[in-house]
Each structure stands twice: as structure tokens, then as C-alpha cells.
Structure 1
């Protein structure tokens, strides 16, 4: 099993900060208790850029801070958020980041990187999040039909999530050309040319 790296842990913390910042960009819809936010984009980016372990860790940091009462979910925090109407989506995020990360780690950088990343983001970053999210939304708000739950928890958000998936794939494809994922996954001195790395490692 590969060791955890200082670089990877730092990136996890940075992406957790990005996820928190993006949570404040939200739009509430009159038909739903679930706001439109960019947090799902941050989840996709975390998995695609950092890989399975560090991407998942970034999301878990945010959830842990929320559980501790810090206002990291768009200005809200505490256990109440983690059992509220959006809890099903929140607890699906670590799974999404992990699966996107697994796919990203196994992708070679080639001309098909963009469509492969887009597909992984759509399947795991968008579609996978909805079953648990919609089910818990319906359960917590007392909805009595699947159609109402889908209208409140999926259909208004799906087009935006598909756009986020494609946007994430484009950003990550460009990033990987200058900063390969191996530099995060490998040892702290990965990416230094022989003889160029510092004599004291962190």
C-alpha cells in the first residue's frame, strides 16, 4: 500500500477549502429544499485531481468540520445539516470522489482523457449522487411520491451537474498536462529530477 504523502495531505486540505468556498455560491429554488451549489463541482475536481484517497479525504474533512459545528456548508454547520434534507447528497460525496479518483488514477494522459474524465464525472459525480440524495430528501420531508421527489431533488439540478462534469473534465485534462496526478500520489520528492531534489525532505 502506498504511503500517505505530505504533498497529498496539503492538497486535500486545499481542496477542502475550495469546497467550502464554493458552498457559499448557492441558489435556492422555490420547489425544493435543496439549493443549487458548486460543491458538486468541487467534489468532482477533488477526485479527478487528487485521486481516490486524497480526493475522498478532502470531502471527509469538510463533512467532519460540519459535524464539529463549523459553518462550512454555505454558512451552515452542525449535526443538523448532516441529518437535514440534503444529507443524502452530502454522504454520497465521499463515494463519488473515491470512484472518480479511482478512474482518474487509472487513466493515461492521451487524446481520450477528456471524454473519459467527463464520463466518470457524469456517472459517479452526478448520477450516483441522486439515488441517496433523492431518497433521503423524500424521507426527511415526507414526500409521498417518487415524481415529487425527483422534481424537488433531481430534474432541476441534472443539467447543471452535467455542465459541471464537462467543465471539470476540461480543467483537469489541462491541469494533468502540467501537473500529472502521479506527483500527488507518489513520494514527497516525486517529480524532481535526479540530483535536483532537496537534501531534507518533509
Structure 2
């Protein structure tokens, strides 16, 4: 589920990129668009593969990783402003 979600999430992110090329717009869009899409497909895939109920899947495959994913989005936004994407 997570691997399937990556092309979808980043296609949506590139479509919604907008004209503003600053750290906050990049960070906001990446957090609001990519994280929910990735976890939507990832948690569903996790539930299908393991047979766990929703709450167990959320606590095992989503909640522990959200802080790190937010940090990765912030680093990616910072890098995007430095290399002028």
C-alpha cells in the first residue's frame, strides 16, 4: 500500500505545486497532500495484508511515523527552496 501511494502522492503534489516557491508553501503542501495520501493507501494495504482492524493498523503503521514524516517534509521543502525547484 505504501509503495503504491508514492506515485499518487507526488503526482498530486506536483499538480498542486503552485507558483509560490518559498519554504512555507512547499512545506504546507507536502504535509497536507502527501502524508494523508501515503497513509491512506498504506494503512489500507497494511490492514489487507495483516488482517488487523483499523485502530491496530493506525497504531502500528501510521502514528509512530508521522513526526518523522513531517521532519522529512520540512527538509524536502528547505532543499527545494535552495535548489530552486
Give TM-score scaled by structure 1 length: 0.40
Post-superposition Cα deviations, 1:130-182, rounded to whole Å, max 9, x if no partner, equal 11110110111111x21110011101110100000111000101110xxxx4x
Alignment RMSD? 1.2
Post-superposition Cα deviations, 1:85-141, rounded to whole Å, max 9, x if no partner, equal xxx11111111111111222x2233xxx21111011112221221111101101111
In the alignment of these two chains, the number of paired residues is 85
* Equivalent runs, 1:172-187 vs 2, <5 Å: 172-176=80-84, 181=85
* C-alpha distance in structure 1 between counterparts of 2:46 and 2:14, whole Å: 27
Structure 1: stretches of 5+ with no match in the other structure: 1-87, 182-202
Structure 2: stretches of 5+ with no match in the other structure: none
Does residue 50 of structure 2 align to residue 138 of structure 1?
no
**Structure with the larger RCO, 1 or 2 (CA within 8 Å, 6+ apart):** 2
